[in-house]
Structure 1
C-alpha cells in the first residue's frame, strides 16, 4: 500500500490522482507591448519675443560703442525674421557695392547674354573689385541716367546713382540692398533666372582677401555670396566708408544681410564693426524662432 500511494502522489503532478482529474492546460503569456508616444513641435512665441528683444538690445549697444555712422538690415527668407537699425537711411555711399548693380543692369539690358569681353569685365569687376572694369561697364550700361531707371524698375526706392562717372558715389540704404538681394534670389522685376544665377555665382567667387564682412554670419556649412565696398574719403575728415551686403544660406536658413558704415577712422574699423554685427546675428538667428515639444492631443479634431 505504501508503494501504491507513493506512485499516486508522483502522478498527481502530471495528470492528477484518480479517474476524474482534468488534464493541465498550458497557458500562453504575451510579452508586454511597447506603446509609441506622439510628440509635436510648436512655436514658442513668447520665447522668440524675449530673444529678439535681447538681440536688438545687444546690437544697439554694440553699434553705440562703434565709431562713425552704422546702419544695418537683415531678413531671413526661411523664417521671415527681419531686423534692422537705420535700415532706411539712404545717405551712405555703396563704394564698390554698386558693382553688382552695374552688372545686374547690364544683364537686363543684354537679355542675360554678355559677350566674351563683357563677361571678362564683369568677372573682374565683381570677384576682384576691379575699378577699371567697373568704369567701362558703367559707361556701357548708360551711366547714372540709365541706372536711375533700372532702380525704379526693380523697386529700389532708396538708391540714387553716383553723379557722372562716379558709380562709387551711389547712395543706398540697407533696406534697398535687401530688396536687391531678394530680386536676385527669388526673381521677378524683369531679371531672368539666367542673369540672377550669373550675378550670384560671381558674388560667391569673390577673392579670399575681399570675402570679409557679412560672411562672418555664416556657419561652417553655409554658402556665402557677397559684395563689399571700401573707400577713403579725404574730404570727409579723412575718414572711410566701408560696406558689405550679401546672402548667407544653408540648412534652415537663407539670410540676406546688409551693413553700411561711414565716417570710420580706417578701413579696419569699418570691417570690424560689420563683422561684429554679422557674427551676432548669425549666431543668434535660430533663437528668434524657438520651438517647444509637447505630446500630441489625445483626441485630435480634424
Structure 2
C-alpha cells in the first residue's frame, strides 16, 4: 500500500510542477457583470427649434393683443440666454405714470453720489414701495425736474424717454425698450451708478407692497425673485380711458428676465392689468422653450 501511495503522490507532484508541459497551474478567475460604459454626447443649441418656438410665441402674443382693447406694446430680454423679442418695443410715446418714480430715485442717487439723507431715503422708500405721489413730488423737485432728468436719461443711454413737463413727472414718456435699458443699468451697471445705488433701487423694487405687486410678476415661477414698478393713471382727455404699465426683473434658476409691458387707452384699470398679466404669464411659461438644445454623439476620432 505504501508503495502505491508514493507512486500516486509522485504523479500529482509532477503534474503540479508542470515539468515538460510548458503550462502553469490553472487558476480560476471570477468574472463580474458586464461594465456599462457611458455614451459620450454633446449638448448643442438648437437654432432651428429656437426660431420656431420664438415665432410661435410672438404669433400667439400678437393674436392675444389683437383681442384686447387699446394700445399695447411690450419688450423682453433674458440676460441668461440673450433672447430678446417684443412688439412695438420702440414706441416712445407710452406714458409711464408711476413707473417714472424709479427714474427719479436713480437720478437723485446719481447726482448725490449715493449720499441721500434720512428724509430722502424715506421718500425713496415711499415712492417705490407704496407708490406715494407726494413723495415723488418732493423728490422731483430735489432732483431738479425736467432739465436734470433729460441729462440723466442721456447719460444712461435712454434715447426713447422724455421727462414730463414742469412738475408733471407722471407725464414722462418712454418705450418698453428703454424700460429694459434702465433695468439693464440697474442689474449690470452703467451710467455712473454705483453698485450700492443699484442694489438699493432693486431692493426697493423687490419690496413693493402686495396690492401693487401685479403686472410682470405674472411671469414668475414659484421661488423666482421679482423686482418691479407699475404705473396706472386715468386719461380723462383720451375718451376717459386708462394707461396701465409694468416693468421689472424676474430672476430664478436658468433665467434673468427683464420685461416691460405698457398699455394705453384702456377702458379701465383692471382691464389694463389683465392685459399686462396675460402677456407676462405667457412669456414666463414659455421662456425656456426659446433656447432649446439638441444632442449629438461625441466625435470618435477627436483631433488632438
Structure 1 length normalisation: TM-score?
A: 0.92
1:86-105 matches, within 5 Å, as 86-105=88-107
Whether 2:151 is the aligned partner of 1:139: answer no
- Once residues 186 and 276 of structure 1 are traced to their aligned partners in structure 2, the CA distance between those partners, rounded to angstroms, is 28
Cα displacement (A) at 1:26: 2.8
The farther-off stretch of 270-279 and 21-30 is: 21-30
Cα displacement (A) at 1:198: 0.4
Gaps of 5+ in 1: none
- Once residues 239 and 222 of structure 2 are traced to their aligned partners in structure 1, the CA distance between those partners, rounded to angstroms, is 39
- Once residues 41 and 25 of structure 2 are traced to their aligned partners in structure 1, the CA distance between those partners, rounded to angstroms, is 46
- Once residues 222 and 24 of structure 2 are traced to their aligned partners in structure 1, the CA distance between those partners, rounded to angstroms, is 73
Cα displacement (A) at 1:44: 1.1
Whether 2:137 is the aligned partner of 1:129: answer no
Gaps of 5+ in 2: none
Counterpart secondary structure, 1:78: coil
* CA RMSD, Structure 1 to Structure 2 (Å): 2.1
Cα displacement (A) at 1:186: 0.3
Cα displacement (A) at 1:27: 3.1
Q: Deviations over 1:144-192 (max 9, x none)?
A: 1110111111110010011110000000000000110000000011111
Q: Deviations over 1:172-215 (max 9, x none)?
A: 00000011000000001111111100000000000000000000
- Once residues 296 and 219 of structure 1 are traced to their aligned partners in structure 2, the CA distance between those partners, rounded to angstroms, is 34
Aligned position for 2:214: 212
Cα displacement (A) at 1:39: 2.1
Aligned position for 2:27: 26
- Once residues 58 and 23 of structure 1 are traced to their aligned partners in structure 2, the CA distance between those partners, rounded to angstroms, is 78
Aligned position for 1:263: 265
- Structure 1 residues 47 and 137 mapped into 2: Cα distance closer, same or farther (>3 Å)? same
1:22-61 matches, within 5 Å, as 25-31=26-32, 32-61=34-63
Counterpart secondary structure, 2:284: helix
1:152-231 matches, within 5 Å, as 152-231=154-233
Counterpart secondary structure, 2:243: strand
The farther-off stretch of 23-32 and 53-62 is: 23-32
1:114 to 106, 113, 116: 116
Aligned position for 1:74: 76
Cα displacement (A) at 1:296: 1.6
The farther-off stretch of 23-32 and 251-260 is: 23-32
- Once residues 79 and 233 of structure 1 are traced to their aligned partners in structure 2, the CA distance between those partners, rounded to angstroms, is 38
Number of aligned residue pairs: 292
Counterpart secondary structure, 2:44: strand
The farther-off stretch of 25-34 and 61-70 is: 25-34
Cα displacement (A) at 1:72: 0.3
Aligned position for 2:248: 246
Cα displacement (A) at 1:252: 1.1
- Once residues 33 and 184 of structure 1 are traced to their aligned partners in structure 2, the CA distance between those partners, rounded to angstroms, is 53
